[in-house]
Structure 1
Amino acid sequence: MKAFLFDLDGTLLLSDEESFYSTYFELLGKYTSDLVDSKKLLKSINDTFEKMTFENNEANNYQKFMVEMSKCFGNKMIDLEKRFEEFYNGPFKELKKLTRPNIELIKTMRNLDGLKVLATNPMFPEIAIRERMKWAELKDDDFTLVTFMENSHYLKPNPKYFLEIAGKIGVKPQECTMIGNDPVLDGACEKTGVKFVLVGGNDGRPESRIEG
């Protein structure tokens, strides 16, 4: 294999994902409650990502997100955008305590020969992805490419997400292996010819060998 695509949540960075996202939305809701209703914000975010999943226009994910959210909140999105950035520089960091690095898998990743991509579902802006990389004790030079909202045009499980990565790093899909914990989101890579290795259980161990 020439390239290895690693998911973040539940793969390189372990947590109880239900608890993590519940706390995430609770913190975000409180931090923006003076601007918008927290329940409306949560519903709008979920509806927006659902709509974005199989959108195939040329806008990047951040642009798509802002367009759809602006339909819900109008001019308030100007203030919300600034507040989101403040949130990721502040309260968001409290979520680190709910996570832990997958030390063994990270060691395996670093010992592999080939290109490595942090192929986390690009639903977060770069500022948030970089912060979460710190929680997993990952470095920028661990990866040839890191996917986030601003540099990605598709979301998992859209097969075009994986094709876009292969194109950016200059390899064929058949020369890539995706390592992740979600058979639906990560496993969608198999539709493009990318091999899939499932990471399962609380210990985050691959269920089959990652072959270089």
Structure 2
Amino acid sequence: MASRTYRAIFFDLDGTLLPMELDEFLGAYFEAIANFVAAHGLDAATFSAGLKAGIKAMAVHDDGRTNADAYWEAFFSHADRDAADWDELLAGFYERDFGAIGAGVVPNSAAARAIETLAAKGYPLVLATMPMFPRRAVEWRLSWAGIDASRFGRITSFENSTSVKPKLAYYAENVAACGLAGEDVLMVGNNTVEDLAIRGLGADAFLVTDHLLDPDEGFDLASVKHGTMEEFAAWAEALPACADPAQGIEAGIVEAAARAAVLSRAEEA
């Protein structure tokens, strides 16, 4: 069925494995975390300003720091560092309150079926989600999708990532974490810009169309493998077992030199 073989398969989360409208989710998230902070006697407006500054910092920084470090530096340009034990306070939010945001999510059973199928065939899996959330928030979102987080050898979050989509550096970091070249990877996503950027490293892609996002508009679907999540699950069932799986995937922070080597190889190709 496939014209290429793969040593690892990367997945986007929101709109791909997790069937939700991103704008609705983000609106609910911003409201919930602001209310949580206010309930603990802190100024919600100041917190929200810091949150937005942190998100912007993660999007634009390119200095090798983790996204978490970039976030907190920008956050504290607005919020009082001494107003709370921020790590402990927000860990409580993500451990408990955040989970309620997904109460109305109806998972697509085809997503879990695809993951289980590929895992059974020996494909190493990487959750290549936008790494602007703490790991616990990502785990919650996987649970909303009905997917077992342990199936993934690497899950990107703001703790272990130094870049974001659609930057090639983000994808190079994750390819390097697997000890692979871009050509060894299949990316499964729903965004023609953020998820297909990995093709700049030579990776293959499958575009899931249930919640298709085409920011630049006019993308030619015929130029890439594509279909609904149900169709992707069937496609995965037809794949052969993984003949040469990636070994020793790095779950944590990736060495800058390893990321640079992947980028250099892509530039030379």
What TM-score does the superposition give when structure 2 sets the normalisation length?
A: 0.71
Q: Output one character per residue of 1:28-77: Cα deviation in whole Å (capped at 9) or x when no partner.
A: 11111231233x43343233323322422222111211111112213246
Q: Which runs of 5+ in 2 are unaligned?
A: 1-5, 213-226, 240-269
Q: Which amino acid aligns with 1:44?
A: G
Distance, in Å, in 2 between the alignment partners of 1:144 and 1:154 is 19
What is the aligned counterpart of 1:11 among 3, 13, 16? 16
Q: Which amino acid aligns with 2:19?
A: L
Q: Which runs of 5+ in 1 are unaligned?
A: none
2:35 equivalent in structure 1? 30
Q: Is the 8 A contact 1:12 1:136 kept in 2?
A: yes
Q: Is the 8 A contact 2:112 2:146 kept in 1?
A: no
Q: Which amino acid aligns with 1:186?
A: D
How many percent identity over aligned positions?
27
Which structure has the greater CA radius of gyration?
Answer: 2
Distance, in Å, in 2 between the alignment partners of 1:191 and 1:74 is 41
SS of corresponding position for 1:106: helix
What TM-score does the superposition give when structure 1 sets the normalisation length?
A: 0.88
2:194 equivalent in structure 1? 185
**Highest relative contact order (Cα 8 Å, sep 6+), 1 or 2?**
1
SS of corresponding position for 1:56: coil
Which range is displaced more, 102-111 or 41-50?
41-50
Q: Is the 8 A contact 2:54 2:72 kept in 1?
A: no
Q: Is the 8 A contact 1:178 1:189 kept in 2?
A: yes
Q: Output one character per residue of 1:78-127: Cα deviation in whole Å (capped at 9) or x when no partner.
A: 53333211111222111122323221132123223421111111111112
Q: Which amino acid aligns with 2:75?
A: M
Distance, in Å, in 1 between the alignment partners of 2:145 and 2:101 is 12
Q: Which amino acid aligns with 1:92?
A: F
RMSD: 2.4
Instruction: Give 1:128 shift.
Output: 1.3
1:48 equivalent in structure 2? 54
What is the aligned counterpart of 2:147 among 138, 150, 168? 138
Distance, in Å, in 2 between the alignment partners of 1:78 and 1:183 is 40
Question: Alpha carbons of 1:143 and 1:43: their partners in 2 closer, same or farther (altered >3 Å)?
Answer: same
SS of corresponding position for 2:103: helix
Q: Which amino acid aligns with 1:56?
A: D
Equivalenced residues, count: 211
2:76 equivalent in structure 1? 70
Distance, in Å, in 2 between the alignment partners of 1:156 and 1:173 is 16
